[in-house]
Structure 1
């Protein structure tokens, strides 16, 4: 049984195949956290200690025990108002504006299957066969009429436990929620590092690892989206933890708006890890009978290092977050028109690109920005989602038919959350943009943000997009979002503190309507590249454009960081022209191909008609190689063999049954008469033999995983290679 409840001791134990999570309701009625680690039997309440730690540690009025203080005890859902001075998950005000609550155990329920969150993305189960169960524990404050239902979704074979919370006003007076986070892990002792993923536009998700010392370390986003500055993924690990050994815990937020993730080491050397909604500009009123949902956090634990932890998250997201037609299917190799022609194209220009793409084996043409309204630059026309037939030289259907006749699928770019001041939509509905009355708005890329907290705004965009998608055989949509939310004012909001939360829920509502209406379309998320790469978006878009930066060397770092929490199948990765348009570096097309082949959404961002014949042969070979290795890249276990700061950056995909492996390398340090450099695979079948398919060489798996194999010594700068191994 995944969930075991001991009614006598009021202990709740959650088991996955390899982990155990345990909590207990203590005598005063508070829900204490006991354990999250390697699968174990019995009760771990002996880990909690009690002592008189002076009058500075306050205790609840009805306890009368100076050894008892919530300021020291490990908790499941810490809240503001009971003497715990560490960071809470919940802060609430009553109708008089007074802070403070006192949440104690009220009831619990065990249900078969994994819970769902109406209107929000969440991990899903696949029926009774996968053994998922849900534990619901309700905490209550009778004085306020406040209830908090804690939801735990146990996914046994994934080694994943999901958490969400529903805050309900079951009283007779209004309440206001000023802080709401979802999940907390309290550690009674230990010396830890925290790993987070920072960056910026075009350099997202770089790995940062810090020692957790006394005080609070937190990252988050105030930008109205999960952001490229900090990703909503956090890992806590023992200081000695490596890729292959040591304990590690992760939290991944299934939310695409602002967030905060924090690790705090308190006065008694205890550590609290937590994640949830950002406090910034958040203040959510609840009238009697209303409720507010804290979005889901995916938690996992590994006793065997960071690679195993990542593989847990990869398996969960790939098979239980990503949904729909494209979840388990090969994605088409595509050519995006942006770097080929930017805004300067016609229908004939695109057909010429498609002809060359067809010759090289590419399967889809994507028409990027510039096809709609009066959009010939990025100063105008966002919000006017009608086809510019004069520019295309005909209807959209005629263009798509011409491309389809060449054997290619057709895709299209949109940016539905934004509006230009110079647009018909803005002139008709200026109040539909988020803008503060009487204040000149802050522009980003010369555009404003539409108020997706309003249903009439979403309905208008939905109808416009459907009118376009219904015109022709559209099989791919790139959904872009190119600025942050600065001016926060909705013309219809009763409280502006609701708007950011309601905006993200509105975005999800629109996306859900579209993916249900167009199940055949492959939606790819994009936000100035990878600035909204999170599990929430992956519930609607099976892949996300990993970064606008397609430089092979920079992409090594970007994809390396992304791999800690997200599977390769979700990463859009393309080969672009050189010098690269972001940093002007020149790398060989072999390196660009090797790096891009490590993503599930493989394609090209260049003008194929400008390529020399030798480069075209490389493209043909890369497309053919992608088809051969796509299944292992999409579904295999992923190993980080070395990183972007090493002399060689190497990674590996291994089929779940160990029958095949794909290993990629890029040589980063080139020296005269250089030393031999070796790469050591992992995850192969012990005792087996493997043939490397390019050379025909046969290796014993045990020796290969012990000593590795040498790379060519006389290498070109940034030499990229993809090696394929097949078990004999």
Structure 2
């Protein structure tokens, strides 16, 4: 069984194929954390806890004269504020009398077959019912307040998920001021913390720092997971590499404010927490009501960062992304944005689509500018009415003509945004998120609609559906181009304004779920100025997310490298754009732009009418090659062979079939030196005893993995190579 319970010792042991997680309700009912790491005997690991008389670390009253028992030093599963533990807490509540001390003790537990789900929130799923659920209930007896800790044990995926449900059985309102979905207490503190920071057009840069005494944290208070920090974090040993060493991955399935922190305490113990950021959060739980925290997924690897990433890749591809597009090959698309921006009409779009169809492109996407009064980004947002004057025809006529060319048709929306210069704002200014009596903060000349309100969501949903129902549309790009601020909802009382940010995210999920149910075959791509909402929560609703607004292939090497630590290639929206690049003015070969974009969902974002005949022939070949390698790229095991920010000459990555039968090696030359040395790249994921053919030559698998493959010599800057390795039969 995946979940073992020793009733004598009140010991819970959760086991996956290779990992183990353990906790124990001790003699006082305190739930102690005892182990997370490599799978071993289901022994009581609480023997590792050192009890001592700690100065200035208090003792619970029921411990009597035992001064060695202090929550300030013990490893706990879900520490609450005010319990005598002065480290960061996983829970803080405010009771009706204004106090916040919470004394949680073990009450009961339940073991269920199958993986739990969460109402209104994304969660990993297991349709084959190979997973199990453990629910441990803690109670604050004097307050009639209950905490249900949810654990999903996905045995064959090596994933354990966490979520929390709080329940108010009193007769008065209780306010949640902080709730974290994960707390893991380690009895030692010799860790590195890996985080992924950035900014707009430069997302998910890798940062690795030793965990020092005090609290290190990253997070977002922007209302989205943000470009600046990502809700995926890693703890590792100092000597952990791609292929060796221990590491722990933590992923938050949530698209709003978050905080992840590592605290090294006075006794060299490490506490890791991950959950909703408390700065913009205060939630009222009324009598007999429940509140569910978002889910977090955890994994452990004893074979380095690469294995850890592949655990998450497999889980998210097959047990987070949903619907038709989980397994169906996604079309190669052309998005018109960087090709024409707002400067287009129907004839221009049809001509672009015509040329695209001749190249083998399968989906044409009409981006921003097709609705309302929208020739720049300063007006029209919120008016989801087709501008037939600009197009010169109806949307159905555009769609019909594009489908007649053999293409599918897609369209861009930004449902959450609103311009002050729009009919919707003039009619309903109170629907925009802004504080009464205060001039709002603008961003990109726009405000945001209050998606915490059901009436606002219903209005936008109705108008979007009217557009989608008016024509044949197979793809929707859901964008958001600013952070949230001026938090206020006109329909909530003042004492509940702290709920706005979380209710906004729940409203977003509610609307996306309705779209999925109404249009189950539609491919929805998430976007927030590129990678501003690239998180596991969004992947539950949108199986791919635009990775970054930076389409420069060389910049994308670092962006996609950082993204790969927590997310699979199949989720990364990546396109070939024109040169010089719009963001950097860099010139990279067309073949290299395709090599990088193929390590994602693959498409083009340029004006194909302006391409030369030679370039068009190259594109035809690229598209055909991507289709041939599709399964290997999208479903194969991904290996980071080098770090693009640390190497001088060549950057490489690899896709290997799970059975080791073939691989695709991708190389980009970052620097060119005359009369340079030879370069080799060691491959991974092959069968050591098999023979493989590479460019007509035969090699043993162990030779390619140990000795490496001699790389072609680059003759121009940023030249790239795609090398197919095939097992002989």
Shorter-chain TM band: over 0.9
| Partner of residue 502, structure 2 | 501
| Partner of residue 114, structure 2 | 113
Q: Does 2:279 match 1:280?
A: yes
Q: Matched residue of 2:664: which SS?
A: strand
| Partner of residue 547, structure 2 | 546
1:712 shift after superposition: 2.0
1:173 shift after superposition: 1.7
Q: Matched residue of 2:602: which SS?
A: strand
Q: Matched residue of 1:143: which SS?
A: helix
| Partner of residue 202, structure 1 | 201
1:190 shift after superposition: 4.0
Q: What is the distance in 2 between the residues matched to 1:633 and 1:410?
A: 24
Q: What is the distance in 2 between the residues matched to 1:655 and 1:330?
A: 17
| Partner of residue 462, structure 1 | 461
| Partner of residue 230, structure 2 | 231
Q: What is the distance in 1 between the residues matched to 2:27 and 2:673?
A: 67
Q: What is the distance in 2 between the residues matched to 1:444 and 1:146?
A: 41
Q: Matched residue of 1:36: which SS?
A: strand
1:158 shift after superposition: 0.4
Q: Matched residue of 2:278: which SS?
A: coil
| Partner of residue 437, structure 2 | 438
Q: What is the distance in 2 between the residues matched to 1:343 and 1:390?
A: 14
| Partner of residue 125, structure 1 | 126
Q: What is the distance in 2 between the residues matched to 1:391 and 1:664?
A: 43
The counterpart of 1:677, out of the listed 673, 676, 679, is 679
Q: What is the distance in 2 between the residues matched to 1:715 and 1:7?
A: 69
Q: Does 2:72 match 1:59?
A: no
Task: Answer yes or no: is the 8 Å Cα contact 1:263–1:273 preserved in 2.
Answer: yes
Q: Matched residue of 1:533: which SS?
A: coil
| Partner of residue 518, structure 1 | 519
| Partner of residue 247, structure 1 | 246
Task: Answer yes or no: is the 8 Å Cα contact 2:189–2:211 preserved in 1.
Answer: no
| Partner of residue 663, structure 2 | 661
Q: What is the distance in 2 between the residues matched to 1:204 and 1:415?
A: 21
| Partner of residue 476, structure 1 | 475
Q: Matched residue of 1:620: which SS?
A: helix
Q: What is the distance in 2 between the residues matched to 1:190 and 1:212?
A: 7
For 1:636-647, list aligned pairs within 5 A. 636-645=636-645, 646-647=647-648
Residues 677-716 of structure 1: CA deviation (Å, up to 9, x unaligned):
1111101012001122xx2222211000001112222421
| Partner of residue 415, structure 1 | 414
Q: Identify unmatched segments of 5+ residues in structure 1.
A: none
Q: For residues 549 and 152 of structure 1, do their structure 2 counterparts lie closer, same or farther at Cα, with a shift above 3 Å needed? A: same
Q: What is the distance in 1 between the residues matched to 2:156 and 2:72?
A: 35
Q: What is the distance in 1 between the residues matched to 2:679 and 2:612?
A: 32
For 1:716-727, list aligned pairs within 5 A. 716-727=716-727
Q: Matched residue of 2:296: which SS?
A: strand
For 1:40-439, list aligned pairs within 5 A. 40-41=40-41, 42-54=43-55, 56-64=56-64, 65-128=66-129, 131-439=130-438
Q: What is the distance in 2 between the residues matched to 1:103 and 1:660?
A: 53
| Partner of residue 700, structure 1 | 700
Q: Matched residue of 1:73: which SS?
A: coil
TM-score by length of 1: 0.98
Task: Answer yes or no: is the 8 Å Cα contact 1:243–1:307 preserved in 2.
Answer: yes
Q: What is the distance in 1 between the residues matched to 2:186 and 2:222?
A: 31
Q: Matched residue of 2:59: which SS?
A: coil
Task: Answer yes or no: is the 8 Å Cα contact 2:669–2:714 preserved in 1.
Answer: no
Q: What is the distance in 1 between the residues matched to 2:691 and 2:213?
A: 50
1:531 shift after superposition: 0.6
Q: What is the distance in 2 between the residues matched to 1:193 and 1:66?
A: 33
Task: Answer yes or no: is the 8 Å Cα contact 1:190–1:238 preserved in 2.
Answer: no
TM-score by length of 2: 0.98
1:374 shift after superposition: 1.2
1:220 shift after superposition: 0.1
Q: Matched residue of 2:457: which SS?
A: helix
| Partner of residue 624, structure 1 | 624
How many residue pairs get matched?
722
Task: Answer yes or no: is the 8 Å Cα contact 2:20–2:37 preserved in 1.
Answer: yes
Q: Identify unmatched segments of 5+ residues in structure 2.
A: none
Q: What is the distance in 2 between the residues matched to 1:400 and 1:725?
A: 41
Q: Which runs of 4+ in 1 moved over 4 A?
A: none
Q: What is the distance in 2 between the residues matched to 1:134 and 1:92?
A: 26
Q: What is the distance in 2 between the residues matched to 1:532 and 1:109?
A: 35
Residues 511-562 of structure 1: CA deviation (Å, up to 9, x unaligned):
0000110011100000000110000000000000000001111100000000
Q: Matched residue of 1:62: which SS?
A: helix
1:46 shift after superposition: 1.2
